[in-house]
Structure formats: structure tokens, C-alpha cells
């Protein structure tokens, strides 16, 4: 396994909520990423680790290989791939909201 895959695995296992996105939470550079950030904010998360894939082409490709999912953004909760912006939009009010509480990420 490469160094990039190790980095990704460590990041998602050591942090309860991780979002791989384009841009930063303060300055998203893609509408789908922005929508996902907006939802996570609305749910009231205290701690989200954000990885800006535009900063690192290897991570941008690496996370797609790691998740076996072709697009960005990608949300991980407690080490498990939740989905992209469509899934986060739909699930956030239901099951995923509960998952976040359990991950201890909600204030």
C-alpha cells in the first residue's frame, strides 16, 4: 500500500468525521462540496477534519481508489464511507445525524 493510502486510512480512522472536498470549508471551490459543508454546518458539528484534494493530486486520486468512488466530495464517519453530496443531503437528517452524535462530533 502506498504512502497516500496510509495517509488516507490514518486520517479516516483517527478522526470521527472527515470530509474530502474541493477547496476548504471556508472557501469551497465546487458547488457539490459547498453543499456538503453547508449541511454538516447545519447539523451542528464541532469537529470536522477537511482534506482539500485540490492541494494534492495524489490524494485526489488516492481517495477515489480508497473508497472505490469516482467523485469528490466524500464523507467518512468513524472510518466508514458514507457517500457523496447526494447521499449526505438525503441521509443527514435521519440516520447519519444519529451516526454523527454517536461519533461524538455534535456539540
**Grid cell digits, residue 3:** 504512502
> Nearest distance from residue 70's CB to another protein, in Å?
5
Name every residue whose Cβ is closer than 8 Å to that of residue 20 and which is 6 or more positions away in sequence.
50, 51, 53, 59, 63, 72, 73, 74, 75, 76
Q: Per-residue string for binding with another protein, 38-77, x by CB under 8 A? A: ----------------x-------------xxxx------
Q: Which of 4, 7, 35, 78 is the binder for another protein (CB under 8 A)? A: 35
Assess 29 for contact with another protein (CB under 8 A).
yes
> Nearest distance from residue 31's CB to another protein, in Å?
4
**Grid cell digits, residue 57:** 493530486
Q: What angle do CA 33, 37, 40 make, to 5 degrees?
A: 140
Write out the residues near another protein by the rule CB under 8 A: 22-23, 28-35, 54, 68-71, 81-87, 89-91
Amino acid at each position: 500500500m502506498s504512502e497516500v493510502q496510509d495517509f488516507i486510512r490514518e486520517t479516516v480512522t483517527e478522526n470521527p468525521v472527515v470530509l474530502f472536498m474541493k477547496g476548504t470549508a471556508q472557501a469551497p471551490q465546487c458547488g457539490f462540496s459547498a453543499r456538503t459543508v453547508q449541511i454538516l454546518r447545519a447539523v451542528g458539528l464541532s469537529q470536522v477534519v477537511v482534506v482539500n484534494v485540490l492541494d494534492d493530486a495524489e490524494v485526489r486520486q488516492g481517495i477515489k481508489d480508497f473508497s472505490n468512488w469516482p467523485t469528490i466530495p466524500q464523507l467518512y464517519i468513524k472510518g466508514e464511507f458514507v457517500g457523496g453530496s447526494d447521499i449526505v443531503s438525503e441521509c443527514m437528517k435521519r440516520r447519519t445525524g444519529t451516526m454523527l452524535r454517536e461519533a461524538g462530533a455534535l456539540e
